[in-house]
Structure 1
């Protein structure tokens, strides 16, 4: 199985407010040769128009990492976290036994560009958790 693919060979979706490229099968995009790799289930690159985003939705038994390339994510979840994740920052959300959250482009004047990575958990039943980290300045900014 070949897990390497050129960026322009990824799955593509455009919903007006969201433009997304999928490295693995996701939502309406399906490719039997690209269903994930080991515990790695999702690598999506998303561009979200100003003021738009994903309404409240659930996750369970998944580690979700979001890296903001440009713009700002407004995050809210069922654990009471409300945060803004800026360019160059990572959000790490362990969905564990279950979490509901929303993510929006916090800006009304610029698109939000992010990468989202989902990893299936080897152990189920863990409590949900939330972290936010900056590891360095974003490139070219």
Structure 2
């Protein structure tokens, strides 16, 4: 039987640091909610807005797959692996923290804010060699289709991570409907609606609402207005 969990936008955790506005779908930092620790291996989904010229100083990570998806503006990245890059809207960045990595992220621009999603996925393999990658996507390839941006394989579309997961971005025009079939029977789906109004199966989602579904083989997404959303297929069982 299909199971669902609904996270309305206004029920997320919120941190106001002045230079940073961060909304947390799952427990993070000072936001603690025992019922919102994760969705399967999806551990963190942070919706961040960074003020002009500000950012996150150097800090460490271990044994986590970290995905950053810019939604607006330019984010400068620097890490202990020697990477100094800038990611823009249309890019996807991935970092396998593995045995340990340090990095910083700053809003490159002095006159405009940056908005981005930071997502953490629990890996299926600990203590891997840290790695970094980023790609630029053709945003036209997500109009009325699911554009794959992440998978478990370096031979597949998008970036890859150490986990049996697939991420897709989509821009659906008003009235468009499409089905997504799961790639693994052990996985669930988490839909995060970035913009507009959509119906996932029978559940309506407004902007920044999230919906998790498991014990299902597919779902149907209908756009009730021009919409943009992120669909994440992830294993539901945590690594032992």
- 1:3 and 1:37 in contact (8 A); partners too: no
Runs of 4+ with >4 A deviation: none
Corresponding residue pairs, total:
140
Q: Is the 8 A contact 1:91 1:132 kept in 2?
A: yes
Counterpart residue number, 2:32: 30
The Cα of 1:32 is off from its aligned counterpart by: 1.0
Corresponding residue for 2:60? 58
Match of 2:133 among 110, 131, 134: 131
Report the secondary structure of 2:10's partner residue.
helix
Structure 2 unmatched ranges of 5 or more: 141-170, 172-225, 227-240
Q: Does 1:8 align with 2:3?
A: no
Counterpart-to-counterpart distance in 1, 2:106 and 2:112: 12
Aligned to 1:42: 44
Q: Find the counterpart in structure 1 of residue 220 from structure 2.
A: none
With structure 2 as the length reference, what TM-score do the two structures score?
0.56
Higher relative contact order (CA 8 A, sep 6+): 1
**Larger Cα Rg: Structure 1 or Structure 2?**
2
What residue number does 2:79 align with?
Answer: 77
In structure 1, C-alpha distance between the alignment counterparts of 2:110 and 2:5, rounded to whole Å: 37
- Which runs of no fewer than 5 residues in structure 1 stay unpaired? none
Compute the TM-score of the two structures, normalised by the length of structure 1: 0.94
2:115 matched to which residue of 1? 113
Contact 1:64–1:119 (Cα < 8 Å) also in 2: yes
Root mean square deviation of aligned Cα: 1.6
Classify the secondary structure of the residue corresponding to 1:3.
strand
* 1:56-75 residue CA offsets vs partner (Å, 9 max, x unmatched): 00000000000000001100
